[in-house]
Amino acid sequence: MRFHRLLLALAILTAATSLAQQPSIDPAIAREIDSIPAIDNHAHPMLSPPADATDREFDALPVDSMAPQTDPIALRPDWPPLHDAWLALFNIDLQPPLTPDTQKQLDAARGRVKAREGGHYSTFVLDKSGIATMVANRVAMGTGVEPPRFLWVPYEDALLFPLNNAAMAAQTPDRTQFYALEDKLRARYLQDAGLTKPPATLDDYINKVVLPTLRRQHEHGAIAAKFELAYLRTLAISNPTEAAAEAIYSKYIDTNTSPDPATYKPLQDYLFRTVALECGRLGMAVHFHSMAGAGSYFSIAGGNPMNMEPLFNDPAMRHTNFVMLHGGWPFVHETGALLQKPNVYLDISQQALVIPAATLATWLREWLELFPDKVLFATDGYPYSDYLGWEESTWLAARNARNALGIALTGMERDGEITPVRASRLAHMVLHDNAAALYNFK
């Protein structure tokens, strides 16, 4: 009896041990994934020294001055993986959270690497993160953030709000800041078009400001146009007539009074569609923010990518490719379903930083089982704070994304859905080939 109990206990112990030791990622798949130089579909790299010191063009709407929110774990100063990024990038062994003293040590270590790498500092971060090409979402490019390693995606939201934006800005404390920034960027686009204020008619505004801005960006290498629209209003885009849009434009441009948001919306929708159509004509994709946050006032319901479905279903839009940045979390099943539209894609930026690999792998697997040619690797590397710079967030998101991809592909292979050859093929597609096909890279 006692012997049987011992055998049973041994059997349970063995089973438990082998389960615990069962790697969640097949080593062959992990090796393959690690060997693929990636295209990062979306991030906000900062310029290399010496331009880095004053660089504020990494975002049209920098999120470092918003009203307080409850930060996800991955953005907090005590997040354990920070240690690995600091060690890998700056060769310094520090434990989060940093004290004033260890923060100084990190700053010094970062400074040493910047001094060593100089103008190559930004590409050094890519090399450390296994990224061959980073799609750089910036207001403008600059020192060290240049082709061929960095490709440009500028911001277009400012073009959608040519009127007095006081009523839009009054909606939340965050939007008060955002619209002031959009007004500034639109002034810059007007200046680039040789104007000091918007023209009197919508037709002139489109032909002298909107279309020339896009064409100039395209000539300067832009491969896509980015919208942070979900921070500014709902993603629902209606299909108003030109006459309806013109009536709103001419009425309010003349008096410089601020239309209420509902009155203003058809003009914004008309301008969005104008930009999206021109992007299709120029061969630029349309990127839009599609994830909850950042910020405590962000409208999660308004940012649901399902709001874009009528736009996606408009035959006139089928020559424009749309990319749902950040994969639409928490609406991850909805974004998966939207991939059946031939011109709709998603990336895993931002999710790759804040959602641990095992969890991210569950819906990544679902997407790969249905529409594997529409899923793009991305980090959303971003200068969040002194302890989580664009360098750390890029490196950590790249590692976590590769782990999530490894878990998803290993699960599919073990369940007999795919062969090892197909697993390798899918890894190349997500990390590189899907983006290369979308942007027509040679």
Using CB under 5 A as the criterion, which residues of the chain lie in contact with Zn ion when the complex forms? 380
Q: How far is the CB of 137 from Zn ion (least distance, A)?
A: 6
Which 3 state secondary structure label does DSSP give 346?
A: strand
Hey, what are 65's tokens?
């001055």
Biggest alpha carbon distance in the chain?
95
Name the minimum Å distance from CB 223 to Zn ion: 15
Residue nearest to Zn ion (CB): 380
For residue 289, give the 3-state DSSP assignment.
Answer: strand
Q: How far is the CB of 42 from Zn ion (least distance, A)?
A: 6
26 vs 157 by CB, closer to Zn ion: 157
- With b for 16 or more beta-carbon neighbours within 10 A and e for fewer, the 244-274 pattern comes to ebbebbeebbeeeebbeeeebbbbbbbbbbb
Report in angstroms how near the CB of residue 401 gets to Zn ion at its nearest.
14
Q: Which is nearer to Zn ion, 347 or 380 (CB)?
A: 380
**Distance between CA 235 and CA 141 in Å, rounded?**
27
d(CA 81, CA 73): 11
Q: Which is nearer to Zn ion, 379 or 434 (CB)?
A: 379
Specify the residue, 146 or 380, whose C-beta has the smaller distance to Zn ion. Answer: 380
Q: How far is the CB of 356 from Zn ion (least distance, A)?
A: 20
Contact at 8 Å (CB) between 200 and 250?
Answer: yes
Taking the least distance from each CB to Zn ion, the nearer of 267 and 352 is 352
Output DSSP code: residue 39.
E
Shortest separation between residue 212's beta carbon and Zn ion, angstroms: 26
Nearer to Zn ion, 225 or 418 (CB): 225
Q: Which residues are paired to 224 by β-bridges?
A: 285
Least spacing, CB of residue 255 vs Zn ion, in Å:
36
Q: Which is nearer to Zn ion, 109 or 185 (CB)?
A: 185
Query: Cβ of residue 324: shortest distance to Zn ion, in angstroms?
Result: 12
Using alpha carbons, select from 304, 355, 346 the residue that is nearest to residue 325. Answer: 346
Q: Using an 8 Å Cβ cutoff, are 380 and 353 in contact?
A: yes
Residue 263 structure tokens: 């009155």
C-beta of 32 vs 380, nearer to Zn ion: 380
Residue carrying the six token digits 């032909």: 207
Pairing mode, strands 285-289 and 322-325: parallel
225 - beta bridge partners? 286
What single-letter amino acid sits at 120? H
